[in-house]
Copies of this chain bind each other. A is one copy, B any other.
């Protein structure tokens, strides 16, 4: 008896949700989250999406309720989940800065290092990460769970907090000072260890990872195409080592070749004048959907 093959995929409900849905669409899977029903729709019969808080995804992947899922590295560590990490995905072009969990105190606090926290009280959403950090530093302090709005508490209710930040601007606005960084976190695709051993599931997960990578890669890349005389080609390639592995094809016009390559969008403004100087003609730049090396 052969049962229908299905992979259960955990989509992080909350701040990562929108970005994850967008990236999956670019990779080729269209997910629509209905406001009414509880199971999101995806246009792939082999896939089932479950919308679960980022904080809990690693727990349910570990238990096998989910085969795989996208979540932050931080919550994998906080939950102490035993899962297989398939890959890291930097989702946002704009804020490519990873999230950091930092120990903070009010600007004018006397606390200068973790050692000064002895006997103090610390509020945080990541109780386990914080306790482990204190143990490592051999500091005894009380850690209490905070439901959020933690920044406010640092000034009056507790002595320090451990909070997540990307740019630090919210911390500065709250007049807090960063004492130390406990953990740096980025989004990850994680898999249940048994699912990873199953060849069909592993293959499916790897396909998703491959196309997600391809779509993310394409966001900062463009295609560049130009014509050049063969005699100038070597000089061109030598002068521009960053023009790696171009595709070179013969043109009908004797002595000329077409050169095509994929490069980072942000080097185009340096590359184009150099290409022109080296004899390239008819240079065009075009957008890309996916890049898979």
Binding site for B on A (CB under 8 A): 13, 27-29, 36-39, 43-44, 50-53, 55-56, 60, 65, 146-149, 151-153, 155-157, 173-175, 206-207, 210-211, 214, 218, 222-223, 227, 245, 247-253, 257-258, 262, 265-266, 268-270, 272-273, 276, 281-293
Bound CA–CA A257/B248 (angstroms): 10
Bound CA–CA A222/B211 (angstroms): 15
For A245, what are the chain B residues with a Cβ–Cβ distance below 8 Å? Answer: 282
Asked if residues A284 and B276 are in contact (CB atoms below 8 Å), the reply is no
Bound CA–CA A148/B14 (angstroms): 10
For A284, what are the chain B residues with a Cβ–Cβ distance below 8 Å? Answer: 218, 223, 262, 288-292
Asked if residues A155 and B38 are in contact (CB atoms below 8 Å), the reply is yes
Bound CA–CA A243/B251 (angstroms): 16
Asked if residues A290 and B262 are in contact (CB atoms below 8 Å), the reply is no
Asked if residues A28 and B290 are in contact (CB atoms below 8 Å), the reply is no
Jot down 5 A-B pairs with beta carbons below 8 A, ordered by A: A27-B269, A60-B157, A222-B289, A276-B292, A287-B287
Asked if residues B173 and A247 are in contact (CB atoms below 8 Å), the reply is no
For A157, what are the chain B residues with a Cβ–Cβ distance below 8 Å? Answer: 60, 65
Bound CA–CA A173/B42 (angstroms): 19
Bound CA–CA A226/B188 (angstroms): 28
Most buried by B among A253, A290, A293: A290
Most buried by B among A149, A174, A207: A149
Asked if residues B28 and A269 are in contact (CB atoms below 8 Å), the reply is yes
For A44, what are the chain B residues with a Cβ–Cβ distance below 8 Å? Answer: 269
Asked if residues B286 and A223 are in contact (CB atoms below 8 Å), the reply is yes
Please give me the 9 A-B residue pairs with the lowest Cβ-Cβ distance, nearest first. Answer: A28-B269, A248-B252, A285-B290, A285-B289, A36-B173, A283-B292, A53-B147, A38-B174, A55-B147
Bound CA–CA A222/B290 (angstroms): 10
Bound CA–CA A282/B291 (angstroms): 7
Bound CA–CA A157/B269 (angstroms): 30
Most buried by B among A38, A207, A276: A38
For A247, what are the chain B residues with a Cβ–Cβ distance below 8 Å? Answer: 227, 251, 258, 282
Bound CA–CA A245/B227 (angstroms): 11
For A207, what are the chain B residues with a Cβ–Cβ distance below 8 Å? Answer: 269-270, 273
Bound CA–CA A288/B257 (angstroms): 21
Contact status of A289 and B287, CB under 8 A, knowing A28-B265, A152-B51 = yes
Contact status of A152 and B50, CB under 8 A, knowing A37-B174, A249-B250, A257-B252 = yes
Asked if residues B222 and A53 are in contact (CB atoms below 8 Å), the reply is no
Asked if residues A249 and B248 are in contact (CB atoms below 8 Å), the reply is no
Asked if residues B252 and A251 are in contact (CB atoms below 8 Å), the reply is no
For A151, what are the chain B residues with a Cβ–Cβ distance below 8 Å? Answer: 38
